[in-house]
Amino acid sequence: MPTLDHLPRLPDAPADFDFFVGHWRVQHRRLKGRLVGSTNWEAFEGRSTMHKTLGGFGNVDDNLLELPDGAYRAVTLRAYDPKAGTWSIWWLDARMPGALDVPVVGRFQKGVGTFLAQDTLDGRPIVVRFLWLSADPEHPRWEQAFSADGGASWETNWVMEFSRVDPAA
């Protein structure tokens, strides 16, 4: 089976996101309104392909999100800082190609990746949290949550459940 790593991996590269290399079908669920008390979720499908970069110290995934009101593309870029022992994760939405989102920064502990950032939503400060749950490498899960109270409470507003697919499919 050919690998998606086209260039050699550096021997000291982290393996945290190795579970995510490959091709995926994605089941999305996201709240229609964020931090407004909404309980109205929308569901849609998508696809994603991830490969390593930077000799294993980075990775990129190319995403197709099939929203009910129209599909769009986006890219996730991740880079590892060996001195800090943390990953930074950026989101680039093709609908706004001149702007990367604020990076979330964090690490994996006991199979759970937790990544945080200070950002704003509708002009007010929030904390953004990404969780990567990789206990089942054939069906990892990603969650996004926002906090308007500095992390004392969280509202999960987007969930992606991944299923590995054959690249020929």
- Please give the average per-residue pLDDT across 54-63, as a whole number: 96
Domains of the chain: 22-31+42-164 (2.40.128.20)
In this predicted model, what pLDDT tens digit does every residue of 18-53 receive, in sequence order? 999 999 999 999 999 999 999 999 999 999 999 999
Under a CB-based contact definition with an 8 Å cutoff, are residues 13 and 56 in contact? Answer: yes
**pTM, whole model, 2 decimals?**
0.91
Question: Per residue in 114-149, pLDDT tens?
Answer: 999 999 999 999 999 999 999 998 999 999 999 999
Distance CA 6, CA 141 (A): 26
pLDDT of residue 166: 79
Burial class (CB in 10 A: 0-12, 13-18, 19+), 1: exposed
